[in-house]
A and B are shown apart, each in its own frame.
Chain A
Amino acid sequence: MATYLIKRFFAMIVTLWLIITLTFFLMHALPGSPFNDERNTSEAVQKNLIAHFNLDQPVSVQYIEYLKSIVQFDFGPSIKKSSQTVNDLLGRGFPVSFELGMVTLVVAILSGILLGVLAALKHNGVIDYLAMTIAVLGISVPNFVLATLLIQQVAVNWELLPVATWKSWRHMVLPTLALATGPMAIIARLTRSSMLEVLTQDYILTAKAKGLTPFKIVFKHALKNALLPVVTVLGALAAGILTGTFVIEKIFAIPGMGKYFVDSINNRDYPVIMGTTIFYSALLIFLLFLVDVAYGILDPRIKLHKKEGR
């Protein structure tokens, strides 16, 4: 296990380095600079600013300098938001984004699995058709459309929940709902089809022949096997939720990282672009790693490492 973890860790570092390098050069290939906006700054001032942020040096030199600083976990200052470092921005935005992302993921997984299991058990029944209709809608309607519809109906017309911002649990309901519906639908469909397949397996008949209760047969014998394909897509779904947070945070005016990320690209705020990208990538790489570990736990046939002997 230890050797696997070490190997995996190095692979993660290499992946991250590739992402950093690509992003860095692509970002500098973008036309425009942080300083040409509507404000008329004199050329002298612009020159001073460019020199201050080391932007007058060749890109390769900047790249080396940047790598040196991020090794020490220093993502540099923000160009646009003076007197704030990227570390400050991440420290402030991340907890909010993390909360939104995690709540969404948990809601999507739990409700998706529940819906899928119910649909499979009542195969071709009313619940099945209802669940699958919800699932198809959830997959087809983009989260920003759902978000605006929810705001219009629940927050504006019915005045049940706040329109935007991030303060209490009541503020969390709508953004979570908007963000979780898509992934939930995907999980529900997958769980249903894989559950239907597992329920026809011989070991389910064995479990029935033992005289186990239907509850035990479904949740102990069937679900664990049925979840394997679901776990596989979890990494990709987490990525989807992550990118979804940019849009949802913008719509609901949630002070998370997504806002900084989008703004920084529009502003060519180089250090912030790099900082947020690296942060998101690292998070995603870590989530994918967790998925692989979960796979090994769910299915004993999958070994993450070679066992000595056999």
Chain B
Amino acid sequence: MEKILQVKNLHVSFRTYGGEVKAVRGVTFDLHKGETIAIVGESGCGKSVTAKSIMGLIPNPPGKITDGKILFKGKDLAKLPDRELRKIRGADISMIFQDPMTALNPTLTIGEQIMEGIIQHHKIARSDARKKALEILELVGIPSPKSRLKQYPHQFSGGMRQRIVIALALICEPEVMIADEPTTALDVTIQAQILDLFRDIQKKTGVSIILITHDLGVVAQVADRVAVMYGGKIIETGTKREIFYEPQHPYTKGLLNSVPRIDIEDAELVPIAGTPPDLFAPPAGCPFVARCEYAMEVCDRIYPTQTLKGNEHQVYCWLQDVRAKTSFATKW
């Protein structure tokens, strides 16, 4: 499959008064054409920062891409000046934000907000832009788009606003769409509708989607592949099947165990004890070591090497390393 976007060994740091926060520490993944990759992890694991780095939306200062490459169409986005990056932003790679209540400008009509992107990038006339906007609103499922075009964000419900935010992202027919927690701020029924919409759009337009989320339910519904992030690193990647049915990393297992289940009687919700690592001084070894019940001496000192479990399935854990004496039957 064609690789449309490649992130290689990405490092992002923020300079703060307390010191340098290493938010992303060597993230590598590929995005194939037409697939959805989900980046999963808890708050502060660096998933949003990774997404924003691809778009060049890390506020600088204090943020900075300190190392690594983001390859898109033969260009390294990490080194592109802002002027060049602007041509790609919104046109080839677009982004959907978490909270539809605040992501739209309250003082501009939604028509204006949808149209301005395509007018900026494709230099087309307003009347053509309006036609395109109507098409897109139809695609994202806004009823009677013609009259809705002249309305302001406050005249829409939360779910409708998220559809509009998606419309903004789609207007220029991008090849990559980054969705940063697109359903977190919505209630569950609306959430399902929006996820359906994502699948529908992908079928129609063939757009590749990077989905940032902490919600494994969302992942199960839309993702093709999953990357699990922890402490600024990707600790396990694989197809959705592999991650859900054969998780290898204790953290991935912990995540899956902490999903509330209604299908099993008396199912116990097992939280992962402890707190995420301090990214001011990230551990030299595995970032999960302090919370891992199977931690070994080596885990504390050396970051695990990659172990291949399948064609796509990679895990960074000493327990899975061929040099580990016994194969651990960890709890799953």
Contacts and interface: CB of A to CB of B under 8 A. Distances in A.
- Specify whether A and B are partners: yes
A224 interface: yes
B106 A210 contact: no
B105 A210 contact: no
Interface string B69-83: 000000000000000
B57 A208 contact: yes
A209 B95 contact: yes
Contacts of B169: 209
B168 to A, nearest CB: 7
B125 to A, nearest CB: 18
B5 to A, nearest CB: 16
B117 A211 contact: yes
Interface string B154-171: 100000000001001100
Contact of B97 (A205, A221, A225): A205
Interface residues of A: mostly helix, strand, loop or mixed?
A: helix
Interface size class of B (residues with CB under 8 A): 20 to 34
Nearest to A228: B107
A168 interface: no
A298 interface: yes
B117 A225 contact: no
Contact of A211 (B91, B97, B107, B154): B91
Interface residues of A, number: 21
A209 B94 CA distance: 7
B99 A202 contact: yes
B152 A211 contact: no
Contacts of A7: none
B103 A300 contact: no
A85 B129 CA distance: 62
A301 B106 contact: yes
A208 B116 CA distance: 12
Contact of A210 (B102, B152, B154, B168): B168
Interface in A56-115: none
B86 interface: yes
B21 interface: no
B63 to A, nearest CB: 13
B55 interface: yes
A201 B153 CA distance: 15
Contacts of B88: 211
Contacts of A213: 86, 120
Given A211-B120, A300-B154, A301-B152, A206 B97 contact: yes
B87 interface: yes
B124 interface: no
A182 B310 CA distance: 72
Contacts of B117: 210-212
A212 B116 CA distance: 8
B89 interface: yes
Contact of A209 (B90, B102, B106, B107): B90
Contacts of A279: none
Interface centre among A207, A208, A210 (most CB of B within 10 A): A210
A129 interface: no
A17 interface: no
Interface string B186-223: 00000000000000000000000000000000000000
A298 B107 CA distance: 7
A209 B171 CA distance: 13
12 contacts: A203-B102, A203-B103, A205-B97, A206-B97, A209-B89, A209-B97, A211-B89, A211-B117, A220-B116, A225-B105, A299-B106, A300-B107
3 A-B pairs with least C-beta separation:
A211-B90, A211-B89, A210-B90
Interface of B: 55, 57, 86-91, 94-95, 97, 99, 102-109, 116-117, 120-121, 152, 154, 165, 168-169
Given A206-B105, A210-B116, 19 more contacts: A201-B102, A203-B102, A203-B103, A203-B106, A206-B97, A209-B55, A209-B90, A209-B97, A209-B169, A210-B89, A210-B117, A211-B87, A212-B90, A212-B117, A213-B86, A216-B120, A220-B116, A221-B108, A301-B152
